[in-house]
Structure 1
Amino acid sequence: MKKAMKVLQFSLLAAFAAGAANAQDTKPLRIGVMTDMTGQFSHEAGQGAVNAVKMAVQDFGGKVLGRPIEVVVNDHLNKPDIAATKAREWFDTQNVRMISNLINSGVALSVIGVAKEKNAIAIVNGSGSSRITGDACTPNSIHYAYDTWALAHGTGNEIVKQGGDSWYFLTADYAFGHSLEADTIGAVKGKGGKVLGTIRHPVNTSDYSSFLLQAQSSKAKVIALAGSGTGFINSVKSAYEFGVTKSGKQTLAGLLVWITDVDAMGLEIAQGLTLTSGFYWDRDEETRKWSKRFFEMTKRMPTMGDAGDYSSTLHYLKAVQAAGTDDTAAVMAKMKSTPINDMFAKNGKIREDGRMVHDMYVYQVKKPSESKYPWDYYKQKAVIPADKAFRPLNEGNCPLVKG
């Protein structure tokens, strides 16, 4: 009798546990888009990042493992502490299993730390600091669309090859700017170029006159703009007004140029800028088809961050489906073992340091006379194959990399 009672009790406990598990499984799987919705980086991320993630959810079918997929959004206001607090809240109480975009490198570095602490996933598409897969790498984070090492070596190598062998840096004074400056200096010196000076400016500065005067007086052949967002746009506009490039003696290097920056400046001002990007909407028929869908929702063409948000979200959802669970370790393992083939990347692969490696592209901004239709802004100068586009695995000081 006692044995029968024990069997019955065990059966009831098992049934209760299974019921609880099934109840848990019916909860929505939430993806958080943490981005700049209102500030200086909103024009290259913001609503575009949100729309890209929603497109991926829609294309996946809206459900995974029988659970509805929901997208929640937060404006981090470019403040790492606000971002970290919201990430903890999402992970602890909102059933958010993955956070995407994370434009602003200070924000990204903060949130990937929280993801590790809470055993959740963070996929970085908006930010570029190469520390994300370097000394700050985690088993819970992926750096997807681009990074400062790839931008620096793509643009730096191309400009030095064209004769731009002396550089002066105007650098935005925050994590991304510092990383971009350091990586570009390494690339320039590695090709035999010289760095004649650097100066750092506040992220939100609106007056670049004194910085540009110092850059001009350096007589460097290349004035490198290590920044992003409206700050970058304003610095290029100021350089145009100062006549920096009209003399033909100095060239501007945009170390991170979003297609939305070019659109905001116009080709008259932006023409001639050399840049490196992981995505261009007009690259081939597949990119054009997807980008036109994105344009219908957003009323602008996608940045490489937008394209990365779509691709990485779809890759994440496929991994959840294939793993049969949203368990972080299982999903990360599946994401790293599965090649990425879509409109963003061909044969892309996520390395053990979290870096997604894929081809990168060097472009030059067209002259107004060369542009044939709206958003026809770039001409391709070079393709950098995946195995050359990103920092070698053994050079990043990522503690996850063995040997």
Structure 2
Amino acid sequence: MDDQTPSGNQKRRTVLKAAAAVGALQVAAPFIIKARGEVPVRFGLDNPLTGTYAELGKNERVGCELAIEQINAKGGVLGRPAELLVEDSTSADTGTAVQKARKLISRDKVNFLLGNVNSAMALAMGQVANELKTLLIVTGGHTDAVTGTDCHWNVFRVCNTTRMETNSVSKLLFEKYGKKWFFITPDYAFGHTLQQGFEASLKKFGGTEVGAALTPLGTSDYSSYLIKAEAAKPDVIIFLTAGNDAVNSLKQAVQFGLNKRFHIAGAQQELEVLEGLPPEARIGTWVFEWYWRQKNVPHLDEFVAAIKKKAGRVPTARHWFGYVATWTAALVANQEKTLDSVKLAKALEGFKLPPEIALMPDTPFYRAGDHQLMPNLYVGHAVSQGPVPDDYFHVDSVVKGVDVALPVAETGCKIKWS
């Protein structure tokens, strides 16, 4: 892959080149002159830029862009400039995501593939990348199968599995708020595996599932599902929606007054969602995968400042996902001094994130058996407004990923090396 030459259609998509980092590289002028004549190392991001998950996808892109800028400022990858090519997978058309993945790998000759927010798309991209022997770092697709039953030697994942998320919060919900749960579940891979994770916890604790409503992706009117939830008289209504669907469902739940009669909760929650809600709808118990306000975390302030400068806002977990995925590929390539996918995949087994990339307590690492990142998870509750602007989540406890992840033997992952 080192011999690749640039394709001729780069004007139709977002491209970040080493030239964009010239200002940051003034102290390394000899590298700049050399780099201008080098074939770039290409990172291809296949992520939703339109539809329900557009904001999440765009924030992951910003994280990737920041990483590319920093990578180039530090000398690039193998002494060559790094370049980001971005394609819109859409939020709901898996066929488009597959087409874009093939385009990025086969025509644009990317060295690394990144994405996707949508779990079904992440699974499909894993199959394509495996077929074409390209390293894929999944940014934000959570369904367990990505690093479970559908795992591949070339696929690694930054965001948590759905089981890690449900395991981190289930016992708290059961002990503090009650044992009868109703689920509002998006009808695709992500929602299904989240619900299955919670159901496993209910079975373990001796609780009861009093009902569930499967909701299409992109639903705007949740009234019929909320009426069904109310009629079931649960102790807890578990919302598994994400993106714009989470905003719509939670906003309408408060309009119905359900929060006054039942506890509202879920697993994965995101700052993008809480920002999109009116203050009175910032409620419930949730899990954050990364949060911008943490105490005594090295390099965190620099990252927050860099995202603010670049995007005009505080960073979210999605910024962090894109940032970590991009840096992961660059770091391991520079460490191993190669772009060979098999060699890099083997080197990533057990690979630890340095503090300036981890941006959280402890040391996140990619587990050797299933290629799943083992970070911390942040369990807490939404607040209408915290002590500082843009602070809508209070962290009650920090849970280690290794403590809530299924053992590799129980994930269904059996990696076969090509």
Relative to the length of structure 2, the TM-score reads 0.85
C-alpha change, 1:288 and 1:261, in structure 2 (3 Å) is: farther
Q: How far apart are 1:127 and its partner, in Å?
A: 1.3
The aligned amino acid for 1:349 is: F
Residue of structure 2 in register with 1:350 after alignment:
366
Task: Please show how residues 219-298 of structure 1 align to structure 2 within 5 Å.
Answer: 219-246=233-260, 249-271=261-283, 273-284=284-295, 285=297, 286-298=299-311
Describe the SS at the equivalent of 1:90.
Answer: helix
The aligned amino acid for 1:178 is: H
Q: How far apart are 1:190 and its partner, in Å?
A: 1.8
CA distance in 2 between partners of 1:240 and 1:316 (Å): 43
The aligned amino acid for 1:89 is: K
Residue of structure 2 in register with 1:359 after alignment:
376
Residue of structure 2 in register with 1:120 after alignment:
134
Q: Is it true that 1:58 corresponds to 2:69 in the alignment?
A: yes
Task: Please show how residues 379-394 of structure 1 align to structure 2 within 5 Å.
Answer: 379-394=394-409
Residue of structure 2 in register with 1:301 after alignment:
314
Q: How far apart are 1:22 and its partner, in Å?
A: 10
The answer to whether the 8 A contact 2:62-2:322 is kept is no
Describe the SS at the equivalent of 1:57.
Answer: helix
C-alpha change, 1:387 and 1:401, in structure 2 (3 Å) is: farther
Residue of structure 2 in register with 1:398 after alignment:
413
The aligned amino acid for 1:297 is: K
The aligned amino acid for 2:364 is: G
CA distance in 1 between partners of 2:235 and 2:4 (Å): 65
Describe the SS at the equivalent of 1:32.
Answer: strand
The answer to whether the 8 A contact 2:4-2:39 is kept is no
Describe the SS at the equivalent of 2:54.
Answer: coil
CA distance in 2 between partners of 1:21 and 1:298 (Å): 34
Q: Which one has a bigger Cα radius of gyration?
A: 1
Q: How far apart are 1:32 and its partner, in Å?
A: 1.1
Relative to the length of structure 1, the TM-score reads 0.88
Q: Alpha carbon RMSD of aligned pairs, Å?
A: 2.1
The answer to whether the 8 A contact 2:123-2:146 is kept is yes
The answer to whether the 8 A contact 1:120-1:140 is kept is yes
Q: Is it true that 1:39 corresponds to 2:56 in the alignment?
A: no
The aligned amino acid for 2:49 is: M
CA distance in 1 between partners of 2:179 and 2:335 (Å): 49
The answer to whether the 8 A contact 1:128-1:147 is kept is yes
Question: Identity over aligned residues, as a percent?
Answer: 25
Q: Is it true that 1:141 corresponds to 2:155 in the alignment?
A: yes
The aligned amino acid for 1:176 is: F
CA distance in 1 between partners of 2:312 and 2:107 (Å): 34
Gaps of 5+ in 1: 1-19
The alignment covers a number of residue pairs equal to: 377
CA distance in 1 between partners of 2:327 and 2:272 (Å): 24
CA distance in 1 between partners of 2:392 and 2:302 (Å): 17
Task: Please show how residues 125-204 of structure 1 align to structure 2 within 5 Å.
Answer: 125-204=139-218
The answer to whether the 8 A contact 1:101-1:305 is kept is no
